[in-house]
Chains A and B, each alone.
Chain A
């Protein structure tokens, strides 16, 4: 045992030869990182397909039976939204007929959560609640339906809805493309059953001139 102790001491004390450090780098972390990077890129390139928003417009040939049988819609159900420059959104409820004064007042709002979305949700309360509850039931597992059944059921609820607002979207000349996309998006978010993009008429152009800035 005495011999061993002496040996250890010798090892500690001897400074004749500096200990050679091996210069081998451990490659394991680098291989881990490369593995992760490759997997990440393989998966993300599959997800970079562009997303689209589908819109369907009515046939333009309707000029023939324009005056024939227009279904009578209650004025309080119509919500007219006018988009203008600077992301401004104006809306008014009812019809703007110069033969039946007074003309409705334009209310100015915007695209924030408290803007046009609040109005739309308020007017579409029943249908929105129905659809949201249906979706919740599916998420929590109370009903088990496929994706196509979900879509068809929502379409059916929208078709049978009789109390929701009928939204007419109009844009003035200075509106930008993203305003239209945003408003159609709000239609989808608030589950509006019927909306249409129509041309702005001269009555509304005049209303815009006198509207609050």
Chain B
């Protein structure tokens, strides 16, 4: 009962601390995935429109329909609202903490751990509070699009709770066939829900195996089944096997993706050892200055001693694993926490060439970090002192969480704080400069506007010092200079753009920069001689002949800026031919035909698209374009 009261207090505290942050804007990927996603909230009266919204995420191979359903619901019923999305995320966070608490309460009472009911309740509450109120979790909760991570974690925790509840009973009792079947069915459903929220939900399976191997130890109906424990132990290694299979099966894909990030697979693996320690340190030492939406300023490990912390980080993890294995019989919870943390990072922190670090990746894994100190300290703290110790631990966490929440409540404050602590983070500098550029348009006061423009320009230049080929920064600088400093020579920027086209390892996100350049050209701000533009795109096309973005860019230039529809049609056709599965080129080509008044041509192009990709999104879009 005491714990239940604490739960309400914790929920209220969490709400209060997060409240300032709820009023912040959409950030980073949330803008692309939610705000600029035309499928969300489009035509709520159409069933088909809802299905298209569910399938409108390009993140991950599954399209994450469960998460997209939640976004579609909020967008469809209320509209684009950062406050709503963040509030929903906060509710999910509290729900997940509640499930975590319930799960740990059961887990700590398993015979392998042997905690009493009271101890388990208090321990679970302490771990739950550490997880709920840790400021590191904020960058998942208030980063709207990371509802995907949250939902995946929520379903995973539900499955762990369900398994623990039934499995605890089956330690001494035989499960009936119906009970077994129903539990298995629910676990399959929850696994599906987790995976369809975010693909790392598949890690639920090795997590279940870890629990079985270390805590239930193959004991069933009063008997020990060694094969079950062995099987579970082997299943724990599935993530390792999976990662190895990906590396072996898709080396070309890995290499291509790695080239975007400018980091080789082995370098990435070495770096991740340090990144994982970084997550651990952020959780236990909640200095909000070190926390950030972006951690692209983390140095890449180019070798075991470059930087030297690489070797110590790897050695540290190996030691932890060795200690876990050595003490697994006496202290299974320690091994469980280490295993849980490592398994939850097996996909995003291994060979798959994603960005190096994001705090949200540790959202679920932090549950193990929250449990570990409870396990280590709880038995050693006198019963009477436990609430005081917990309060002492939670107080700085709450202060840090509150401060971070205030930071996140205002975009300018957020990026300024991040910039102060992460001046080497290219993402941070770029988004800050962009924000200042946007504010220059939004403020009415001329002097303030000029201040924003100057700041934007300064930081774009600073970004080019960090990376002279940073295409988005170059395009933005061109825009700033063309619009606000027309007397300035744009020659150096144009030359830098040409060099970037010739040398930069292009990333998919650079397409947005080209899109911006097109808008700038269309608005008449950016005036680039045609031959310069052609030279730049030619350089890109010769390096990336299969990328349809470059002929499509030129097609838009000729179609919209120059009004040369015949050339636009030719270039759009080239874009389609270079990647026939990419739908954008078809819509573009159809739009040129329609501009020409050639309706049948447009219809025929859309017919080609439907032949390539007859999914609902293509059908609806084609239906809107069809004459």
**Same complex origin of A and B:** no
